[in-house]
Amino acid sequence: MQPYWLHAYLLVYTPIGLFADSRITAQWQQYVLGALTFTVLYLAALKAPKEQRLQVWTCVAVATCFEIFGSLVWGVYRYRLHNVPLFVPPGHGIVYLFGLLAAQTPLVKRYGRRVAYAVLAGAGAWAVLGLTALPLVTGRFDLQGALCLPVFAYFLLRSPRWPLFAAIFIIVSELEIFGTSFGDWSWMPVAPWTHIPSGNPPSVIAGGYCLIDASVLAVLWVYREGLKTIMARITTTISPMAGPTMRLRLESRSNSGELVSPESTSLIRLRSSGEYTAAASTTTPANNTSATMIQSDVIDQRPAAIITSPVSSTTP
Quick: pLDDT tens for 254-309. Answer: 455 555 555 555 555 555 555 544 444 444 444 444 444 444 444 444 444 444 44
**Domain check: are 224 and 145 in the same one?**
yes
**Mean predicted lDDT score pLDDT of the chain:** 84
Q: Is residue 311 part of a domain?
A: no
- 80 and 197 assigned to the same domain: yes
Q: Please check whether residues 213 and 259 belong to one and the same domain.
A: no
Q: Of the residues 199, 230, 261, which one is the last residue of a structural domain?
A: 230
Q: Both 159 and 283 in a single domain? A: no
Q: Are residues 254 and 222 in the same domain?
A: no
- Residue-level pLDDT at 46: 96
pLDDT for 174 = 97
Question: Is 308 within the bounds of a domain?
Answer: no
> Does residue 36 form part of some domain?
yes
123 and 270 fall within a common domain: no
Q: For residue 246, what pLDDT band results from cuts at 50, 70 and 90? A: very low
Q: How far is CA 162 from CA 15, 210, 285, in A?
A: 25, 10, 90
194 lies in a domain?
Answer: yes
Residue 312 lies in a domain: no
What pLDDT, in 10s, does the model give residues 151-200? 999 999 999 999 999 999 999 999 999 999 999 999 999 999 999 999 99
Q: How many domains does the chain have?
A: 2
Domain housing 157: 2-230
3-state helix vs strand vs coil in the chain, percent to 5: 70, 5, 30
- In a domain, residue 235? The reply is no
Of 230, 258, 273, the one marking the end of a domain is: 230
Same domain, 284 and 135: no
CA distance 190 to 147: 14
pLDDT interval class at 113 (50, 70, 90): very high
In degrees and rounded to multiples of 5, residue 186 shows phi and psi of -150, 145
Do the Cβ atoms of 97 and 44 come closer than 8 Å? yes
70 & 112 share domain:
yes
Same domain? 118 vs 259: no
Task: State percent of the chain over pLDDT 70.
Answer: 75
> Is 93 domain-assigned?
yes
- Residue 38 domain-assigned (yes or no): yes
Residue 270 shares a structural domain with residue 208: no
Integer Cα distance of 112 and 212 in angstroms: 24
pTM, full prediction: 0.74
Q: Are residues 14 and 150 in the same domain?
A: yes
Q: What is the mean pLDDT of residues 117-134?
A: 97
Of all residues in the chain, the percent with pLDDT exceeding 90 is: 70
Is there a single domain that holds both residue 81 and residue 192?
yes
